[in-house]
Structure 1
């Protein structure tokens, strides 16, 4: 079983620009400053692309976590997908979609994940992880949208 959610963020930027901001390792690090997230392996700065991997280290819930994700799908400037290769989740998939509007673009984040540890993991998914990850992705979207001078929509 997996848990999923969707976040939509409006931006004044065109889809091509927002697409590149969303795959920037450096901006990801900036947006996750609170957790001390940093890239420690694979692509550690600049723009990540198709078939490339990055290993992240961060502290969430006071626990040090290491996760390697790879770009498994990439269609510039419409969408890209990153998926956990190694890490704390049983599975983790994040689809980033970009659509032009009359005033900029909308970024849609579709996240699906499953926690390990059977029944205990399913309880954690629903009681803690869903809300925590939704807020993290929403705040990251707002961070990227604020680069263009526009605050993102929830």
Structure 2
């Protein structure tokens, strides 16, 4: 099971970073390359524990849907979303926020299991893990840009 970890320093407060990361409309802005949008469950505002959201996006030229549930939340330092339906066998995305040097370190930990057994493992090694890493980094950079322009 691949584990992707990315840390991004943001010159903005803990509360701002936490709320931006769980804001549905901001999520859409930070994933514009994949044309991601909320099409079910909570489709606007701030996600909270117990909420589900279905995202529709284009990955590898294929339009797909993915439903996640926020299973854990400790405001303003962490929340976890888990896939309940989608292309992966499973995934858990932990979002952590640590106050440091007048700003916030946003830490993404993304654990996933690809479908299709050995074929999925090969896909991870060939392209999927790199693709998912780049997706998480791109989203973090966009969150940083938005947060730092607010402060």
CA-to-aligned-CA distance 1:17-63 (integer Å, 9 cap, x gap):
10000001101111111111110000001111100000011110001
Quote the residue 2:136 is aligned against: 137
Instruction: Give the TM-score normalised by structure 2.
Output: 0.96
- Equivalent pairs, count: 149
Q: Residue 27 in 1 paired to residue 12 in 2? A: no
- For the residue of structure 2 that corresponds to 1:88, the secondary structure is coil
Matched, 1:125 2:118: no
Q: Is the 8 A contact 2:49 2:70 kept in 1?
A: yes
Point out where structure 1 has 5 or more consecutive residues left out of the alignment. none
Two-structure CA RMSD over aligned residues (Å) = 1.0
**Deviation string, structure 1 residues 62-102 (Cα, Å, up to 9, x no partner):** 01111000001100011000010000000111000000012
Structure 2 unpaired stretches of 5+:
none
Partner of residue 41, structure 1 = 40
Please give the per-residue CA displacement for 1:93-139, whole angstroms capped at 9, x wherever unaligned.
Answer: 10000000122110000000011101101111121111011111111
Name the structure 1 match of 2:115: 116
